[in-house]
Amino acid sequence: MSDNASVFIALFSYNRPVLLENAVRSIDKYMPHGDRFIFDDNSDREGILVFLDTLRARGDWGVYVNPARKERTFGGFYENIHRALSMALEQGYDYCYLAEDDGQFVRDASGMVAEASEIFRQCEDALVICPWFVQRSRPMYIERADGSKEWRMEYVEGVGAYRTNTGFNTTGVFNLERIRRAGGLNFIDCYGTNFSWNSGHWLKKGYHNFFLKAPYVAMVPWVGSLASGQKIAEGVERSPDRLLMREMTPEEITYFCDRNPEVAPYQEYVSFRGDEDRQPAWFRAGEMLDQYYRMCAGTVASEDKFGMSPIRLPRVSIGDESKITPNAVHIRRYEEYAAGVIEGTTSSKAERSWQRKLLNSFLPPFIKRIFIPVEFLIQNAVGRWRRKYGSGLLSLIKWYVGYLRLCFRLRAERKALPFNR
């Protein structure tokens, strides 16, 4: 990065004061350069309102609050992403780093944008470079129902980054000059859940989302999602010292920088929540556990197919033909949107809200953390599996067995790490 390269830092928040304060602290400490701005989605909790006023008084953070929150999936999250990128483009910045309040820098990132700049220089198809870790629960290789097969990531030799099969991300360093050269942002913000549409848009233009070999940012796991209006970050707010991430040790940093890049940068290899790691990380608590178990089972199935755990990612050199197939689902959704086929999506929040209220009313946080199978059975026994997964309870049990198998594998992998011996 040249000395005069400019960076716009956009941090998105909604009603999670402990997480927001933690994210701000980590950015202040580990990412010293860049103009900082918070985009809040009309929070109404007193703690976060007081903190936003404190930041305004400090003067080193700009604060924008949505005047009215949209009642849809993810609220105004994507609207704020659009606003942040548009502001950065209009004000002439070179790069825009998008961050979410459940992210935390775990090591010095003073050279992160310079590292991203070098990757952009070498990889013409890079639009955004994500500095986050990868979760062990996410399959790296997928076999779809239609028979198609695809890798989600590949390591680009000599670059220090992974190319993915997506064209967009809600977090990461965006190359704003490439957006300008491509004719502008053309951001799609129609339905509330806009990731795949925007990903397909940029994949059609030949761009990809990249991940760093040695990440800087970890997700604070198991905190719940407030995007759909659920206030379920209680665990973090009651025990922040135990649930928030800790800083990486020098040994851990060395491992991630020097490890075999065919192994993805898994967050679970860095201790979070003290040393209580017993399962792959997940970004939600108390909801969507069927999706979580299904992903874990998919990861185990792909590893069984290749006979390795964790799975080894393919390598390519700069200029070689990519082994990554752009995400066909994202491209199809964008093409349908461009053709006017899709009229919009509706949120099933109202259908699920009574289930979540039941779950969160009768199970204290410590019970939910310890007895995840109970949470799983309650959640699906009340009918969600009937509505969304026609294959029924047998499939859910199969996925849960896959989750247990992945837990055992993760424990063995962690014990084998050089800094844990």
Q: Domain map of the chain by residue range?
A: 7-218, 232-311+346-420
Which residues does 324 contact at the CB level (< 8 Å), separation at least 6? 150, 151, 152, 153, 154, 163, 164, 165, 208
**Cα 253 from chain centroid (whole Å):** 21
Burial class (CB in 10 A: 0-12, 13-18, 19+), 251: exposed
Which helix (H) or strand (E) covers residue 226, if one does? Answer: none
Helix, strand, coil abundance in the chain, percent, nearest 5: 45, 15, 40
Residue 89 in contact with residue 100, Cβ under 8 Å?
Answer: no
Q: Which residues of 398-409 are buried (b: 16+ CB within 10 A; e: fewer)?
A: ebbebbebbbeb
Phi-psi domain of 284 (left: phi exceeds 0; alpha: psi -120 through 50; beta: other): beta
pLDDT of the residue at 134: 94
CA dihedral for 212, 214, 217, 221, sign (positive or negative) = positive
Say yes or no: domain 7-218 is CATH 3.90.550.10. Answer: yes
Walk along the chain (421 residues) and give the pLDDT tens digit of each residue: 444 679 999 999 998 888 999 999 999 999 988 999 999 998 888 889 999 999 999 999 999 998 876 666 677 888 899 999 999 999 999 999 999 999 999 999 999 999 999 999 999 999 999 999 999 998 998 877 666 678 999 999 999 999 999 999 999 999 999 999 998 888 877 655 588 889 999 999 999 999 999 999 998 887 755 444 444 444 556 556 666 888 999 999 999 999 999 999 999 888 655 555 567 887 666 556 778 888 999 999 999 988 999 999 999 998 888 999 999 889 988 988 888 776 444 333 333 444 455 555 555 555 555 444 555 555 555 455 444 544 567 778 889 899 999 999 999 998 899 887 6
Q: What are phi and psi of 352, to 5 degrees?
A: -95, -15
The two three-digit tokens of residue 68, written as one number? 């009215």
Comparing C-alpha atoms, which of 249, 179, 261 is closest to residue 212?
Answer: 261
- Other beta carbons less than 10 A from residue 354's beta carbon: 10
Q: Using an 8 Å Cβ cutoff, are 222 and 282 in contact? A: yes
Burial class (CB in 10 A: 0-12, 13-18, 19+), 208: buried
Tell me, what's the pLDDT at 95? 97
Query: Rounded to two decimals, what is the model's pTM?
Result: 0.85
Cα dihedral sign, 215-217-222-225? negative
User: What does the pLDDT read at residue 188?
Assistant: 79
Which residue reads 């990065």 in tokens?
A: 1
